[in-house]
Structure 1
Amino acid sequence: MLDAKQRQNLRGQAHALKPVVIIGAHGVTDGVLAELEGAIYAHELIKIRLPQVSHDERDDMIQTLSGASHADVVGRIGRVLILYRPRPAAAPKR
């Protein structure tokens, strides 16, 4: 869980980023979740563009995306969601 200072810092870092995952008219599908997993593993901090749907549907999508990816919601501006999940530490070599 991120505190307010960490969220503020991550929002600043995300300002220059472009959305790397774009949710289409079909909503959150298995393909979208697979792309999300790859993007968040590669970048840690990503932006997602959400479709034009009602606020309630958008809130449900945000819950689904953050829950499925085990990522923290850093911020949301209009239809753009910012997620952060730190990359797991490398397993120790034997």
Structure 2
Amino acid sequence: MLELALARRQALKALAHAIKPIVWIGGAGLSEGVIHELDQGLKSHELIKIKVSGDEREARNILLGEICERLGAAPIQHIGKILVIYRPKPEKISSPDTTPLRNEKKSRRTRQGLPGGIPN
């Protein structure tokens, strides 16, 4: 489970206020399909809201912990039946650019392969 500093969590809570739940967890609980949808939501949005239908607060706390553990996310907020979780997007690994720079000059080589060549 991802751990965040208090200031970061507070900032994410403020951002989460305006978003709507993207996943509803019903009576069937946490299935593989729900986990997949949560993972897809985190990949595209980083910060998501989840609505849970259960009435037991303790059951929702356990559900929040299980979701965060399985997805490597951080719990941000739990208010009523709404859960907010966050997982940063993985940084893109860029491959080195193999194209030459525009200002880079190519060395001139002669038939002998030496710079400047051998005078005739």
Structure 1 length normalisation: TM-score?
Answer: 0.94
Gaps of 5+ in 2: 97-120
- Could you tell me which runs of 5 or more consecutive residues in structure 1 were left unpaired when the two chains were aligned: none
CA contact (8 A) 1:17 1:46 kept: yes
Cα contact 2:76–2:86 (8 A) shared by 1: yes
Find the residue that maps to 2:75 and give its secondary structure: strand
More helix by share: 1
* Aligned pairs (5 A) from 1:60-79: 60-79=62-81
Q: Which of structures 1 and 2 has the larger relative contact order (alpha carbons within 8 angstroms, sep 6+)?
A: 1
Normalised TM-score (structure 2): 0.75
- Give the alignment's Cα RMSD to 1 decimal: 1.0
Is the counterpart of residue 81 in structure 1 residue 97 in structure 2? no
Deviation of the 1:60 alpha carbon: 1.5
Which protein is bigger by CA-based radius of gyration? 2
- What number of residue pairs does the alignment pair up? 94
- 1:59 is displaced (CA, Å) by 1.6
| Percent identity between the two aligned chains | 34
